[in-house]
Amino acid sequence: MDNTITADVTPLFRTFPFGEKTLRNRLVMSPMTRQYSPGGVPGANMAGYYRRRAEGGVGLIVTEGTCIDHPGSNGYVNVPAFHGQKALDEWKRIADEVHLAGARIIPQLWHVGAIRRPGMEPDPAVPGHGPVEVIENGRVVVKAMSRSDIRDVVESYARAAADAQRIGFDGIEIHGAHEYLIDSFLWDVTNQRDDEYGGDIEGRLRLAREVVAAVRAAVTRDFPIVFRFSQWKIRDYEARIARSPDELRRILLPLAQAGVDIFDVSTRRFYEPAFEGSPDSLAAWARRLSGKPVITVGSVGLSKAYAIAQLRGNEDASAQRAELSLVCGQVRSGAVDLVALGRALLADPEWPSKIRENRQSEINDVDRAALKTAV
Ligand SMILES: Cc1cc2nc3c(=O)[nH]c(=O)nc-3n(C[C@H](O)[C@H](O)[C@H](O)COP(=O)(O)O)c2cc1C
């Protein structure tokens, strides 16, 4: 395969406004879970890990998913918390180091919802929390959330956002994608509630809207709120929360009105058409329908799409460099605003600098070891 990268990359290196601050370029580090935070406290290597990506030239870092202070928010071992003095002290240090290297940084605020199972840290007795009850082997493993559970989660998101601003982050990202809590309310396959949090799109969107509004009220107006959403789910890459542009508009406009500043549109292949009859990507549609800036993501600069099976070792994780002219053209034309990189930045923290300095041939390929990087 010819991996020569001949694109004019200058659009990627134009600045972009971010609240009252500025991003030095259009390149974003996509949120990536690492599981190197025993006891929920960001581990010793973490500041160096993020600082290296900042030094490598990325404009904005979205941290790995980090748990809000609701008891059911965590679903995996050694994931960092975004609450408690110790964890927040470490997060502040990470943000400070990233700033010294010239990048901006926002935490991805996470509640895993029904993905959690009893036995998981921090309190093994706590089940998953989701739109509806889930019973496995005669045991309730996911609790159907009551109105008061929902209120607790909404307030927990707001507290995390206020903490992020207090300790010096540049904004926050709400994880509303990939079948985790907020997305599981949005998706009609996982949400069969018959109260005001279920039913039609407006009902299924209510939790997301309440979270955004509570976060908006907890931070200053100029503090950017990024909202990540996706069509794809952990268990179903073909899933849809919006089957048409009109359904997408009914999801995004209320979120924009509630306070979202930027949509992070999570796709596995940024170039794929979102709906029949148009070549436009989901990110391009989201921009047009919401009137808000968007982040595009998914196989940018890489020959193969991300899949969960690659993390679990059931699928070959290797990926090679790919051409950048399409994504550069999308930024140049204004179809999208920002471009996120996931695996490419794990394999090579210096990806942005190498692209900018025309050193593409020096970029590291992605492999399974890169997906597990501790550094
Ligand atoms: C190791 C790994 C961990 C990830 N963890 C998260 C996460 O915590 N939150 C999230 O929204 N997406 C997560 N993702 C998805 C990425 O943010 C990104 O959307 C995906 O990798 C596609 O981008 P890429 O093709 O540039 O890798 C993860 C991806 C990888 C490879």
Q: Work out the percent of the chain whose per-residue pLDDT is above 90.
A: 96
> pTM here?
0.98
Which residue puts its alpha carbon closest to atom 6 of ligand 1?
32
Which residue puts its alpha carbon closest to atom 30 of ligand 1?
32
CA of 52 to the centre of ligand 1 (A): 18
Which residue puts its alpha carbon closest to atom 26 of ligand 1?
342
CA of 342 to the centre of ligand 1 (A): 6
Q: pLDDT tens for residues 213-271?
A: 999 999 999 999 999 999 999 999 999 999 999 999 999 999 999 999 999 999 999 99
CA of 196 to the centre of ligand 1 (A): 32
More confident residue, 313 or 55: 55
**Which atom of ligand 1 is the closest one to the Cα of 310?**
31
Is residue 259 in contact with ligand 1, taking CB distance under 6 Å? no
Which residue puts its alpha carbon closest to atom 28 of ligand 1?
32
d(CA 81, CA 96): 18
* Mean pLDDT, the chain, integer: 96
Query: What local confidence, expressed as pLDDT, does residue 42 receive?
Result: 97
CA of 290 to the centre of ligand 1 (A): 24
CA of 101 to the centre of ligand 1 (A): 23
Question: Which of 8-22, 184-198, 311-325 bottoms out in mean pLDDT, i.e. has the lowest?
Answer: 311-325
Q: Is the pLDDT of residue 197 over 50?
A: yes
Q: Work out the percent of the chain whose per-residue pLDDT is above 70.
A: 99
More confident residue, 241 or 3: 241
Q: What integer is the mean pLDDT of 344-367?
A: 96
CA of 160 to the centre of ligand 1 (A): 21
Is residue 290 in contact with ligand 1, taking CB distance under 6 Å? no
Is residue 228 in contact with ligand 1, taking CB distance under 6 Å? yes
Q: Mind telling me the catalytic residues?
A: 180
Please, are residues 69 and 81 in contact by the beta-carbon 8 Å criterion?
A: yes
* pLDDT tier, 4 (very low <50, low <70, confident <90, very high otherwise): low
Q: Is the pLDDT of residue 91 over 90?
A: yes
Q: For ligand 1, pick from 28, 29, 32 the residue to mutate: most ligand atoms within 8 Å of CB.
A: 32
**Which atom of ligand 1 is the closest one to the Cα of 65?**
8
CA of 301 to the centre of ligand 1 (A): 15
* Cα dihedral value 264, 167, 95, 170, nearest 10: 40
Query: What local confidence, expressed as pLDDT, does residue 73 receive?
Result: 98
Residue found under tokens 């979102």: 274
Is residue 304 in contact with ligand 1, taking CB distance under 6 Å? no
Which residue puts its alpha carbon closest to atom 18 of ligand 1?
342
Is residue 342 in contact with ligand 1, taking CB distance under 6 Å? yes
Q: Is residue 147 classed exposed, middle or buried when 0-12, 13-18 and 19+ CB atoms within 10 A define those classes? A: exposed
Largest CA distance in the chain: 59
Is residue 51 in contact with ligand 1, taking CB distance under 6 Å? no
Q: Is the pLDDT of residue 1 over 50?
A: no
165-187 CB burial, b ≥16 within 10 A, e <16: eebebbbbbbbbbbbbbbbbbbb
Which residue puts its alpha carbon closest to atom 7 of ligand 1?
32
Secondary structure (H, E, C), 177-206: EECCHHHHHHCCCCCCCCCCCCCCHHHHHH
Q: What integer is the mean pLDDT of 269-295?
A: 98
Q: For ligand 1, pick from 271, 306, 366 the residue to mutate: most ligand atoms within 8 Å of CB.
A: 306
Query: What local confidence, expressed as pLDDT, does residue 374 receive?
Result: 84
Query: What local confidence, expressed as pLDDT, does residue 2 receive?
Result: 44
Question: Taking the alpha carbons of 315, 127, 111, 242 in that order, is the dihedral positive or negative?
Answer: positive
* pLDDT tier, 40 (very low <50, low <70, confident <90, very high otherwise): very high
d(CA 294, CA 310): 27
Please, are residues 45 and 36 in contact by the beta-carbon 8 Å criterion?
A: yes
